[in-house]
Amino acid sequence: MGFEFLQPVNDNVLAFREELSVQTLGKKIIVHSAEEGFPELEDVKIAFIGVLDNRGQLDEQRQHVHLNYIRKEFYGLYPGNWHVNMADLGDIQPGEAISDTYYLVKTVTEQLVKQGVIPVFIGGAQDLAYAVYRGYDKLEQMVNYVNVDARFDFGKEDESMSARSFVTRMVIEEPHNLFNYSNVGYQTYFNPQEEIDLIEKLYFDAYRLGEVCKDITLAEPVFRDADFVSIDMSVVKSGDSGNIVKFMPNGFDGKEICILARYSGISDKVSSFGIFNHSDTRQESVLIAQVLWYFVEGVNFRSGEFPFGTRENYTKYIVALDEEEIVFFKSDVTDRWWIDVFSNKIGNNKVKTTALLPCSYQDYLTACNNEYPERLWKAQRKNII
């Protein structure tokens, strides 16, 4: 199956693109147009795909999805000193049933990731993230999913699929490819205590909004270990997003959400990315375009540190606790830290990629204080159970 179901970029957007400076992104991105047809992907590293289906929001205020504003804002930006090739592949139209849309998103994800292309989905409702996750089913790998969201998006087992319940489907439905789920930016008053308890029970990771805003670098190792990252735009406070349709008085500010997008891009492991649940407004489109810009910049500055090809450019630290030693590695190039999981005698290691667990300098200091790093403890539990 090819990509014949993808609709070309809107003619209005293409006309806008024609008027842009030759130095802008719009003139550097290969575009799927009705006139030129579908682009060759041989040298493409990042592919943008719109998904115009938001039925999963189950909301009376649900708006029609079109991405013209976002495309115009993004095309009009100037690139940094970038070297990767990008393509805009157009849009996936809503299928007759929402399951049809899921199938198309899954197919695009599987084919692009297999080709070494990073799909970047700009969509309607965030339940589309489930379809992206399912795109890894035939790729024979476990998936670490990071959800930047004010809510965990769990639901009851018998609840129909929606933007508020799709993570439960990731956990319970076969094939069981979900190795870890991490939430960045949750706000406690939006999440039932039973869901907070479930995060602990499953040894998943969750970082409160205030915790991340106080020190945003705490989130970096989470993204470094991710395969798929999605952003629910309602995690950004309305004062910065411009979304007053669904008013959010608290959330990340514009700078913080761009930093998190850059962390996603710079991670050597992230192979798909998505932005969902945005309002169809010019105001929010400006921010989304800049979030996309920072993700692309991150991809351009990937250092190739994960997994290690060689350990020549790393300093090894051994911390002796009461009952065992913990081995850390610090990159001499980027100053990023890892814990050597195999050295710490984790039992039935399910996936080889967990041999080196991304961590922070703070985790190293925690071990130096004779305390067990929480990230290592959770990694052990997930491998043992």
What Rg value do the Cα atoms of the chain yield, rounded? Answer: 21
Supply the range of the domain harboring residue 348: 314-384
Evaluate if residue 308 carries a pLDDT over 80: no
Query: Do residue 285 and residue 367 come from a single domain?
Result: no
Token pair 């499953």 is at which residue?
202
Residues 226, 320 share a domain: no
Is residue 313 exposed (0-12), middle (13-18) or buried (19+ Cβ within 10 Å)? middle
Point out the domain boundary residue: 261, 278, 300: 300
Give pLDDT, residue 45: 98
User: Is the four-CA dihedral 115, 116, 117, 119 of positive or negative sign?
Assistant: positive
Q: Tokens in use for 43?
A: 């040298």
**CATH code for position 105:** 3.40.800.10
Bridging pattern class, strands 205-208 and 178-186: parallel
pLDDT at 1 over 60: no
Q: E strand or H helix at 229, and its extent?
A: strand 228-232
Residue 134 maps to a domain = yes
334 and 264 share a domain?
no
Pairing of strands 85-92, 30-31: parallel
pLDDT class for 245, splitting at 50, 70, 90? Answer: confident
Q: Residue 7: how many CA atoms within 13 Å on its side-chain side?
A: 12
- Mean pLDDT for the stretch of residues 271-281: 92
| The pLDDT value given to residue 57 | 84
Last residue of a domain, one of 243, 265, 300: 300
Q: Which of 244, 267, 300 is the last residue of a domain?
A: 300
51 and 153 assigned to the same domain: yes
- Mean pLDDT over each residue of the chain, to the nearest integer: 91
What distances in angstroms separate CA 92 from CA 67, 111, 122, one per listed residue? Answer: 11, 15, 10
- Give pLDDT tens digits for 136-157: 999 988 999 999 999 999 987 7
- The neighbouring-strand residues paired with 311 are none
Among 180-189, 252-261, 340-349, which is the least confidently predicted range? 340-349
The confidence band for 346, taking pLDDT boundaries of 50, 70 and 90, is very low
The pLDDT of residue 61: 53
342, 283: one domain: no
Residues 323 and 291 in one domain: no
Element (H, E) at 8: none
Percent of the chain with pLDDT over 90: 78
Q: What is the pLDDT of residue 353?
A: 44
Gap between the Cα atoms of 381 and 363, Å rounded? 17
**pTM of the full structure:** 0.93
Residue with tokens 């961590």: 359
pLDDT tens digits for range 347-360: 444 444 447 899 99
Sorted by sequence, the CB contacts under 8 Å of residue 235 that are 6+ apart come out as 148, 149, 150, 185, 209, 248, 251, 252, 257
State mean pLDDT over 213-233.
Answer: 96
Domain count across the chain: 2
Q: What is the DSSP letter of 360?
A: -
pLDDT at 105 over 80: yes
Residues 191 and 262 in one domain: yes
pLDDT bracket for residue 383 (50, 70, 90)? low
**Res 354: pLDDT:** 43
With respect to residue 155, please indicate whether it lies within any of the assigned structural domains: yes
Phi first, then psi: give them for residue 185, nearest 5 degrees. Answer: 105, 15
Section 47-75 average pLDDT: 86
Over 50: is that where the pLDDT of 170 sits? yes
- Write out pLDDT tens, residues 171-203: 999 999 999 999 999 999 999 999 999 999 999
Strand partners, 140: none
More confident of the two residues 271 and 246: 271
Same domain, 46 and 155: yes
Residues 121 and 46 in one domain: yes
* No. of helices (H) and no. of strands (E), the chain: 14, 13
* Distance in angstroms (rounded) separating the CA atoms of residues 56 and 127: 6
Task: Answer yes or no: are the C-beta atoms of 307 and 353 closer than 8 Å.
Answer: yes
Confidence (pLDDT) at 352: 45
pLDDT at 349: 44
Separation CA 347–CA 265 (nearest Å) = 31
42 within a domain of the structure (yes/no): yes
Task: Report the C-alpha gap between 182 and 205 in whole angstroms.
Answer: 5
Nearest CA-CA partner of 70 in 109, 127, 13, 31: 13
Q: How far apart are CA 298 and CA 76, in angstroms?
A: 19
Per-residue confidence (pLDDT) for residue 180, from 0 to 100: 94
- For residue 197, the tally of other CB atoms under 10 A from its CB is 10
- Residues 230, 325 within the same domain: no
